[in-house]
Amino acid sequence: MQTTTDKDNGAEHRFEEGERNGVYRAIYTRRDVRSQFTDRPISNEVLQRLLMAAHHAPSVGFMQPWNFIVIRSDDVKQKVHKAFKKANAREASMFDPQRRESYVDFKLEGIRESPINLCVTCDRSRHGPVVIGRTSSKVTDLYSTVCAVQNLWLAARAEGIGVGWVSILNVAELKKTLAIPNGVVPVAYLCIGHVDHFSPAPELEMAGWLDRLPLNDLIFSEQWGQTPDAIAEDDSTCSHFSIPQIVSDEPDRPSNGKAHRTKRISLIRHASVAENRQHRFIGSTDPKLTDEGQQEAQRLSTLLSNQDFDRVWCSPLHRTRQTLDAIQSQSAPAAELPEAESLDDLREIDFGQWEGRTFDELSRDDPQLVAQWEKDGEAFAFPGGEVIADFRVRVDRILKRIASDDADSFVLVTHGGVIRHLICRYLGYSMSRSLTFQVAPASVTTLEVHGDDAMLTALNVQPLGDG
């Protein structure tokens, strides 16, 4: 039975707390996805639910001006992608040189990677020239169509589906490619698919392109420019369902549900092998350290001295085992390390037939396959080797193992690809950024992890050489 107070504050119409939490979580964790798509197909049942959610958007005069063009054809996607590249080059030229340098590094679409592309259109003549609510402002039909896009986007987030809006397209070229008739406007071109993770914040915000504006700076009272009393001290207190609470519930970030302590994770890349100096692909190949590499590994102990570690995990490959043995062999000032455990998940990715070759050699001898690597992204399988997505799945098991372990400090002796993956996962970076920084041989990278928050405290730290 509702009390008078409940009725006065509208509680009789309010969703249950768990339902409200789900709505706010979808809003706060919705992301514009570009590079995290996997090749896992979307079922027709899920697609129908998403389209039905879009179809239930509000519309001016109940006009329902939208249509949905579902695109699965690689040929059509390729044509749209070609139009994007042309428009993207034009947009890049509009920024000043410094800004342009940052712009060109962004991946701003997932047209070919996503299993489904969707063009949402607005039929501006639907139901004739006079529509309730549209006589004073003709563009309200376009606004209504945008509401349909947002409905679909939030429903997709609730389904664990990623959506990316490609706005850098020439409208005339898109209409020609999709045979859209006159009087119908393409409002949104969306890339839709399962993803390997959702970023903890918008990618442009994480990259430092722009910051989220404070909410109170955007609220006026009665007239433009008149500042009201503060509604919220900051954005996270706008509602009972605070942004930190929602984001911390992300299933893609390691969490074991226990009270969080700070965990220190030291990631050591093995010392040098000959193939490193020659810039050759080396994954499952198992060479030994060079003489110089042995010396590098011995000096690494100076970076671990005066520290206590609870766990030492090591890749089973020779170059990592030799690195760890060299560290432990130093009596002064040696790090006191517990007995090491060999973990197969810490192996480098298997490059298959690409093992031992350079990128220049591959680009010369098999340019089509190199281009396929760029196109397929996570779904790419190195010939005779490992699928990139499978590599990421097994390294993710290391994150889960750390999260569920009661230990506070970890040493992982492993490989460059594994370390880059772990850094991106802990910091919430897109995996497309994993190749934008180097992890040097015989270096220590350190992370401090507290629950779902992580800080990179050191990257590529190397001991000083002799003399």
Looking at residue 464, what is its pLDDT? Answer: 66
Same domain, 39 and 88: yes
pLDDT in tens, the chain (467 residues): 444 455 556 678 889 888 988 999 999 999 999 888 988 999 999 999 999 999 999 999 999 999 999 999 999 999 999 999 999 888 988 988 888 888 888 889 999 999 999 999 999 999 999 999 998 999 999 999 999 999 999 999 999 999 999 999 999 999 999 999 999 999 999 999 999 888 888 888 877 888 888 888 889 999 998 888 766 554 444 433 444 333 333 334 444 444 457 899 999 999 999 887 788 999 999 999 999 999 999 888 888 876 788 999 999 999 999 999 998 887 444 446 788 999 999 999 999 999 999 999 999 999 999 888 888 777 888 999 998 888 988 999 999 899 889 999 999 999 999 999 999 989 888 777 788 778 999 999 999 998 778 899 989 898 765 44
Tokens of 305: 């001295």
The neighbouring-strand residues paired with 313 are 341, 412
Please indicate, yes or no, if residue 253 is contained in any of the structural domains.
no
Please indicate, yes or no, if residue 1 is contained in any of the structural domains.
no
Q: What pTM was estimated for this model as a whole?
A: 0.53
Q: Helices H, strands E: what count in the chain? A: 17, 10
Residue ending a domain, choose from 190, 224, 247: 247
Same domain, 270 and 311: yes
Which residue range forms the structural domain that includes residue 269? 262-461
Tokens of 156: 């997709």
Q: Is residue 367 reached through a cis peptide bond, with omega within 30 degrees of 0 on the bond before it? A: no
**Phi, psi (deg, nearest 5) at residue 187:** -90, -40
CATH at 186: 3.40.109.10
Looking at residue 303, what is its pLDDT? Answer: 81
**Rg of the chain over all Cα atoms, to the nearest angstrom:** 26
Same domain, 186 and 225: yes
Residue ending a domain, choose from 215, 247, 279: 247
Please indicate, yes or no, if residue 9 is contained in any of the structural domains.
no
C-alpha to C-alpha distance for 294 and 217, rounded to whole angstroms: 58
Place of tokens 């800004």: 99
Please indicate, yes or no, if residue 441 is contained in any of the structural domains.
yes
Same domain, 321 and 196: no
Looking at residue 101, what is its pLDDT? Answer: 81
Please indicate, yes or no, if residue 4 is contained in any of the structural domains.
no
Please indicate, yes or no, if residue 467 is contained in any of the structural domains.
no
Same domain, 94 and 223: yes
Looking at residue 96, what is its pLDDT? Answer: 87
Closest CA to 71 of 195, 186, 203, 196: 186
Same domain, 159 and 41: yes
C-alpha to C-alpha distance for 332 and 256, rounded to whole angstroms: 37
Amino acid at 289: L
Please indicate, yes or no, if residue 61 is contained in any of the structural domains.
yes
Same domain, 205 and 341: no
Q: What DSSP element (H or E) covers 103?
A: helix 97-103
Mind giving me the DSSP string for 389-440? Answer: HHHHHHHHHHHHHHHH---SEEEEEE-HHHHHHHHHHHHT--GGGTTSS---
Handedness of CA 271, 276, 282, 287 (dihedral sign): negative
- Helix 171-178 crosses helix 74-92 at what angle (to 10 degrees)? 170
Same domain, 206 and 281: no
Looking at residue 240, what is its pLDDT? Answer: 38
| Side-chain half-sphere exposure of 1, counting CA atoms within 13 A | 2
C-alpha to C-alpha distance for 154 and 83, rounded to whole angstroms: 27
Tokens of 179: 């045979």
Same domain, 242 and 267: no
Mind giving me the DSSP string for 128-176? Answer: -S--TT-SS-TTHHHHHHHHHHHHHHHHHHHTTEEEEE---S-HHHHHH
Q: How many domains are contained in the chain? A: 2
Closest CA to 273 of 322, 215, 324, 325: 322
CA distances from 414 to 243, 342, 395, 435 (A): 35, 10, 11, 17
Tokens of 157: 């987030």
Q: What DSSP element (H or E) covers 17?
A: helix 17-29
Closest CA to 85 of 382, 434, 374, 388: 374
Are 33 and 97 in contact by the 8 Å Cβ rule? The answer is no
Residue ending a domain, choose from 212, 247, 282: 247
CATH at 319: 3.40.50.1240
Same domain, 325 and 235: no
Tokens of 353: 């037939």
Same domain, 185 and 209: yes
Are 165 and 190 in contact by the 8 Å Cβ rule? The answer is yes
Please indicate, yes or no, if residue 256 is contained in any of the structural domains.
no
Looking at residue 8, what is its pLDDT? Answer: 56
Tokens of 330: 């130093």
Helix (H, G, I), strand (E, B) or coil at 311: strand
Same domain, 266 and 240: no
Q: Which residues contact 196 (CB under 8 A, 6 or more apart)?
A: 36, 38, 378, 389, 392, 431
